[in-house]
């Protein structure tokens, strides 16, 4: 069971909010695989900068009923930089 939706409304992948990490990771990352599929490559290029929920917290049905809260975490920059190009997610269980 995905316990992040609908509790977390802000995206975990957000190049617009996390600009510095996304700029840096593009300098280091190899080209996106496109498997010789031009349409796939074009889709990746068009959507790479779109904020979206790429990350999830998945638990068993038994545990899902015990979740009281799920939030996006690691949103504060240290020395001007966030910890990752993804924001973290956390869940609280009772």
Average pLDDT over residues 65-78: 94
Closest C-alpha among 81, 79, 77, 76 to residue 23: 81
More confident residue, 7 or 48: 7
11 three-state secondary structure: coil
- Quick: pLDDT tens for 72-84: 999 998 888 898 9
Rounded distance between C-alpha atoms, residue 45 and residue 56, angstroms:
23
Model confidence at 12, pLDDT cuts 50, 70, 90, reads very high
Torsion sign over Cα 45, 47, 49, 55? negative
- pLDDT for res 70: 97
pTM over 0.75: yes
């Amino acid at each position: 069971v995905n316990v992040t939706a609908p509790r977390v409304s802000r995206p975990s992948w957000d190049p617009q909010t996390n600009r510095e990490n996304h700029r840096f990771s593009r300098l280091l990352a190899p080209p996106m695989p496109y498997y010789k599929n031009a349409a796939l490559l074009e889709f990746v290029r068009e959507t790479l900068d779109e904020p979206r929920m790429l990350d999830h917290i998945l638990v068993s049905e038994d545990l899902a009923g015990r979740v009281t809260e799920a939030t996006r975490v690691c949103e504060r920059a240290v020395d001007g930089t966030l910890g990752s190009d993804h924001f973290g997610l956390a869940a609280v269980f009772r």
